[in-house]
Amino acid sequence: MSQHYELSNAQISRQAIQRLYITMKHLFFRGHYKPMGMSGEAMIKAMLDLRPEIYGSIADNHMVELNGLLYIFQRLPKGIEECRFIDLISREGYEKSKFRPIIPSKRRRNCYRTGESEMKIEMTRGRSDIYDILTHLTFMYIEAEKIRRNAIFGTKKHRAWIHLEELIERIDNGDEYEVEEGYASLATLLGRTFEEVRDVNEKFARSNEVNSLFHITYWLARLSIEEFSLKKSREINFSTNLQARLGSHEFGEMWANNIKSSLYKKNLLHRPSTSSAVIAQCDE
């Protein structure tokens, strides 16, 4: 009789971390992916299984994680919520261009808005930097989908979404608007209470280099709705230079480990010897 064993939470988390790491590595060498495509869905599933504490209620289908949003937007470039295309790059000379660097308040990295819907983000700390930002972006897309589902029912817009569209237009035009009416609409779209929305909006307002909660909610939902309804896909790309720089590290590490393993097997790891003699014995 076969026995059925249930995985512990720790085992599920370890497997989710492994899947997340393998998927990110695959996407990096592939060079691009769509967050809502098959590859992106694999990352989303691993994130939902892992449920990192910093992302709070990530697994809830309707309740948006407000403090988690604040956390990531303090570490992502201002305006990224408006960008359909995000490019992860190495240091490639943009510091000498006309583009003004955008530096997140809680993560010192240079970012450049190179078009109305394009953002480039410099990766200078190696693979860990890429994994860090991809988890933030994956969380952002998960929350954007929640807002879309709360804003649109089939082909019909919820009145809270219509009100937010009107409010954003007034803000962009410099017109006066009723803040608490806006909180009421956000509460519906974010699946949170009026008080929670009001409190976290004040935190957003106090944060440097972060747009308002109204602005972020609108743009996250708008791009999600456009992809869902008009097939305007969001995309993440890795530059060729970034792939070459970190890819060489990847294979260089494998090469170095193979040499170390060979030295150990031949009892040469702690033995002084000329480099030519070592190489000759490793080739045997």
**Mapping DSSP to helix (H, G, I), strand (E, B) and coil, where does residue 79 land?**
coil
Lowest mean pLDDT among 27-31, 70-74, 228-232, 260-264: 260-264
What CA–CA distance (Å, rounded) separates 31 from 247? 11
What CA–CA distance (Å, rounded) separates 270 from 202? 60
pLDDT digits (tens, 9 = 90+) for 30-51: 999 999 999 899 899 989 988 8
Query: Average per-residue pLDDT in the chain?
Result: 88
Lowest mean pLDDT among 126-135, 236-245, 273-282: 273-282
Sketch the domain layout of the chain as residue ranges.
Answer: 9-238, 245-282
Q: Is the pLDDT of residue 273 over 60?
A: no
Share of the chain above pLDDT 70, in %: 86
Query: Residues near 34 by Cβ (< 8 Å), separated by ≥ 6?
Result: 40, 233, 234, 235, 236
pLDDT digits (tens, 9 = 90+) for 47-65: 998 888 899 999 999 999 9
What CA–CA distance (Å, rounded) separates 14 from 256? 27
Whole-angstrom CA distances from 129 to 92, 102, 122, 216 are 17, 17, 9, 24
Query: Residues near 50 by Cβ (< 8 Å), separated by ≥ 6?
Result: 13, 16, 17, 20
Using 50, 70 and 90 to split pLDDT, how confident is the model at 154? confident
Tell which residue, 101, 283, 104, 137, has the closest CA to residue 211.
Answer: 104
pLDDT (0 to 100) of residue 21: 87
Using 50, 70 and 90 to split pLDDT, how confident is the model at 278? very low
φ, ψ dihedrals at 156, nearest 5°:
-100, 135
Using 50, 70 and 90 to split pLDDT, how confident is the model at 3? low
Lowest mean pLDDT among 7-11, 119-123, 166-170, 193-197: 7-11
